[in-house]
Structures are given as C-alpha cells and as structure tokens.
Amino acid sequence: MMELLIDEIVRATEGKLIKGNLKDKVMGISTDSRKVKKDELFIPLKGEKYDGEDFVKDAIDKGASAVITARLDNVECLKDFSVNVIYVNETLEALHKIASYYRKKFNIPFIAVTGSSGKTTTKDMIAQILSKKYKVLKTEGNFNNEIGLPLTIFNLEDTHQIAVVEMGMNGFGEIRRLKNIAEPQVAVFTNIGVAHIEKLGSRENILKAKTELIENFKEENVIVLNADDDMLSKIPLQYSSKYYRYGIKSGEIKACDIEKEEKDIKYTLKYKNLAKEIKLSVPGIHNVYNSLAAICVGLEFGINVEDMAEALKDFQPGKMRLNIIKIGDIKIIDDVYNANPDSMKAALSVLRDLPAKRKIAVLGDMLELGEYAVEAHKEIGKLVADSHIDILITSGDMSKYIAEESKVCGMKENNIFVCNTNKEVNEILKDIIKEGDSILVKGSRGMKMEQIVQFLQERVK
C-alpha cells in the first residue's frame, strides 16, 4: 500500500481527529488486531462474535500508529496513548470511504466478477490471462465482501496497471456498495443460480441483486455475460455498454468440439473468423464457461489469443477447488471449498466422467438455501442416481434428502450411507475403499469436509 496522511484519512471518512498530527502517515491498514504491523491504521469492525473496538489497545501494542473508533469510551481511554485517534460514526462505513478514496488515486481499469458460482476461478483465469501483458492486482482467495474488497484495494501499488476483483453478496445493496468503492469498467457475470436464495427468495431477486453491478453503466463500460444462462440472457440490452456474450450453445464467443479427459478438457474457441484450440488443465464443463469469460476480458484488453491459450493451459485451481489428488490407483476429487446446487452438479459431472472401477460421492449439506433447501438436495439425489454413481455417502442433516431421493430414483439401498458427522463418514470410508476408486468430497464450507479429504490422504497412503 502507498502511504496515506492522517489528513487524507480524516477527510475521506469525514471523521474528527481527536488527537494526533494531520501530517503523520500510515503505511498500511488492518482490521485484525492480531495482524497489525508497525505504523498501520487499525480499523476495528464488529463481527458476530467479537467487537474489534475491544482490541484497540492490542493493535496499538502491535505497532498501530493510528486508530479509528466509533466508541466514545475508546476515545476517552486512548487519550493517554501516543497514537493518532480518529472518531467516526461507523467503522465499516469508514473502511469503505477510505478504500473508495484510495482507489481514486489509481487511474487503472477494474474488472469486477460476480455470479452464483465460478467467481473465484473466473477471476483467477482473467488475472492469469491479463498477466501476459499487464501488472495485475487480483482478489486473493475469496476476499469478495464488504471487508475483503476494501482490503484488496489497499494492496494497490503504483506499479499496478489493472485490477480484477471478485464481488459476492448476501442480499440487496451489497453489490451496489462494492461497485461504488471499486468503480469497475468491466462487469463479468458467470451465472445466476440459487446460492443465497434463503435471503433473496428467488432467482429473479438474485439476478436483480447481481445486476446492481451495472447500474449506471455507460458507453465506455463493458458487460461480459454467460449467454447460456437462462437468467442472464434476460438482461435487457438497455445499456449502451459494449457486450461480450459467451457460451457453448449461444453467444458470439463459443466453445465447440469439447473433449473431456481425466484431468483436463479441451475445446475449439470460435469468435468471428477465429478458431483456436484451448486446453485447460482443470476438468469440468463449468470450467469451459469460466475460461470463456476470461477470454472475453482478454479480447477486450488486447491479449493475443496464443498468449491466452498458453495462460489457460498453465492455469491451476485454488486450494480445495476440484483438485484431483492421485494416490496409487485411487483418485480423490477435493472440492470442499464450498457448495451450492450449481457447483455440486458441476462436481458430480466431473466424477461421472472420470474413469474408475467405482465412483464414490461423499456429499455434505448445502447451506443458506432456505425454503428451497429440501428441493435442492433432492435434485442432487436424482442427479447422483442418474449419473450412475456406485456409492453415496452423505454427511449432515439436509444431505439425508440427497440419499432419500437417490434411492427413490433407483440407486441400491445397500450402496447408500447416511451419516450425521464427518467422523462417521471416515469410519465408513475406512472399511469400503478399494483400489481403482474415484472419490468426490464436496459440501458447504461450514460442513468442514476437508476433514474427510485429510483422512483419505492419510488412510490411502
């Protein structure tokens, strides 16, 4: 991060300097008192379990040279500390205002990626392609919320030429707030599924919340969307912005002649008069879509198609995202980062297409689906049966509906195991694993399915 004056922070936040020097500087910004570094600004945030305001003194002990606070008791107790103290009405709002101010220091394009699934992989593919020509800042991991996005922006340096950020949301208004901070020139939409339907109620509302990203887009802005997605295709061309539409069935940028292999997939990219073979070192049709979105951005920013093909061939997914771990003759598909119905279907398609003596699906609950939860889990159960999975093991309260529906749809009862905990799953796996098995492990983040992957790695060895 480039240095900021206390004066800039006061003006950006519209706060009040209680004590300190407007000419002092901060060399970074932290919201975690445990990770504060010397001469950083500490912004305490209120979480579900903790209030960062309670750890202001800890941050100062770690070396913070400035503190933002919205609590009058902290204002009083910090008067005896040799530190800059800025009083604001609300600390999260202050974080947003500073991030917005800091972003305006950089006259570089921002690409924002949103959607129900595939955001992180698409963002990473875009960054890999753009890195062929530009110095790129990208969201690390899934820092895609109202805290993560500002912290990503604070990583901007004067050497960066372009930024790729991921935008997630839990409800109406969040994407709008993120958009107002980042001011993206390009908006990329992956798909509209049912993630967060618990709070938004319908896919139509999810689309409405996601398209906050392109409110007030103008002629100089660019919209990249999945033309095969039934909801995204409804976006009216009411914007004067430039469009890229990608897909397998529809769109101007298409993937044709798709060939699936064990650990990768290849296809022919067709765009205008161009036909180019693209090979991905990751499996799954969903990654074809992710790569097409990245190619659209590459085209917009003048990346040579040969360079794009090379970048995608070298691309590797993030940790716990469809990583195929091969130990002897056993394959473990580690896809435990998170789960919703769309990503669950994508993972099952990878298991279905993988050569194996037996195919085992270890599936945990998909969370945050609200009233749609039972139906969503039953849909996955039907897909398990239709995909001819040999053995199904479920973990959690809701995943029992996956098991029930798979049985209704023809899967043999003695090949279905219903568990309450991951420990129970491990006990079953210990007894049934055989040479030649391919095992998919997937569930929502809260299910901690990585415990099963770790057990399998230790057990198989």
Report the relative pairing of strands 4-5 and 25-26 from DSSP bridges: antiparallel
* 47 — pLDDT class (breaks 50, 70, 90): confident
Same structural domain, 82 and 146: no
Beta bridge partners of 226: 246
Q: Look at 129-138, 219-228, 317-326 and tell me which has the smallest mean pLDDT.
A: 317-326
How do strand 4-5 and strand 358-364 relate by DSSP bridges? unpaired
What percent of the chain has pLDDT above 90?
81
- Does 112 share its domain with 223? yes
Q: Is residue 41 part of a domain?
A: yes
Per-residue pLDDT band for 459 (boundaries 50, 70, 90) equals: confident
Whether 421 has a binding-site annotation, put simply, is no
According to the annotation, is 30 in a ligand binding site?
Answer: no
* Domain shared by 190 and 275, yes or no: yes
- At 259-272, the pLDDT tens digits run 988 778 999 999 99
* Segment 283-298, tens digit of pLDDT: 889 999 999 999 999 9
pLDDT band at 177 (very low <50, low <70, confident <90, very high): very high
114 belongs to an annotated ligand binding site: no
CA torsion through residues 47, 49, 51, 57, sign: negative
The amino acid occupying position 111 is: I
310 and 328 part of one domain: no
Tokens of 277: 């073979």
* Same domain, residue pair 61 and 163: no
Say if residue 461's pLDDT is above 70: no
Q: Are residues 135 and 21 in the same domain?
A: no
Domain-embedded: residue 190: yes
Residue 416 lies in a domain: yes
Annotation-wise, does 119 bind a ligand?
yes
Tokens of 186: 């390009």
pLDDT at residue 22 tops 70: yes
Count of CB atoms within 10 A of residue 104's CB? 10
**Phi and psi torsions of 366, nearest 5°:** -100, 120
- In the chain, the amino acid numbered 82 is S
Instruction: Give CA–CA dist 433/456, Å, rounded.
Output: 9
Same domain, 167 and 241: yes
Instruction: Determine the pLDDT at residue 80.
Output: 82
Residue 328 pLDDT: 86
Per the structure, the count of domains in the chain is 3
Q: Can you give the pLDDT at residue 193?
A: 87
Who contacts 428 (Cβ-Cβ below 8 Å, separation ≥6)? Answer: 393, 417, 419
- Residue 342 sits in the same domain as residue 248: no
Is the pTM above the cut of 0.85?
yes
Q: Average pLDDT for residues 331-344, to the nearest whole number?
A: 92
pLDDT band, residue 236 (cuts 50/70/90):
low
Give tens-digit pLDDT for 403-441. 999 999 999 999 999 999 999 999 999 999 999 999 999
The domain boundary, picked from 268, 291, 314, lies at 314
Residues spanned by the domain of 75: 4-92
Q: Is 121 annotated as a binding residue?
A: yes
Specify the CATH number for the domain of residue 38: 3.40.1390.10
Q: Are residues 38 and 124 in the same domain?
A: no
What are the tens digits of pLDDT across the range 129-170?
999 999 999 998 778 999 999 999 999 999 999 999 999 998
> 251 and 399: one domain?
no
Task: Describe the chain by its helix, strand, coil percentages, rounded to 5.
Answer: 40, 25, 40
Sort strands 16-19 and 84-87 into parallel, antiparallel or unpaired. antiparallel
For residue 137, give the nearest of 157, 163, 158 by alpha carbon.
163
310 assigned to some structural domain: yes
Residue 238 has a pLDDT of 67
Residues 86 and 121 in one domain: no
**Mean pLDDT score across all residues of the chain:** 93
CATH number at residue 248: 3.40.1190.10
d(CA 274, CA 285): 21
Domain membership of residue 97 (yes or no) is no
Alpha-carbon distance of 107 to 162, in angstroms, equals 9
C-alpha dihedral over 276, 281, 286, 289, to 10 degrees? -30
**In 3-state terms, what secondary structure has residue 361?**
strand
- 75-131 pLDDT, tens per residue? 888 888 899 999 999 999 999 999 999 999 999 999 999 999 899 999 999 999 999
Last residue of a domain, one of 286, 314, 342: 314
3-state SS string for 34-81: CCCCCCCEECCCECCCCEHHHHHHHHHHHCCCEEEECCHHHHHHHHHC
In a domain, 100, yes or no: no
Same domain for 309 and 383? no
Q: Output the pLDDT for position 344.
A: 94
Q: Which tops the pLDDT comparison, 401 or 283?
A: 401
Residue 382: inside a domain:
yes
Is residue 117 a known part of a binding site? yes
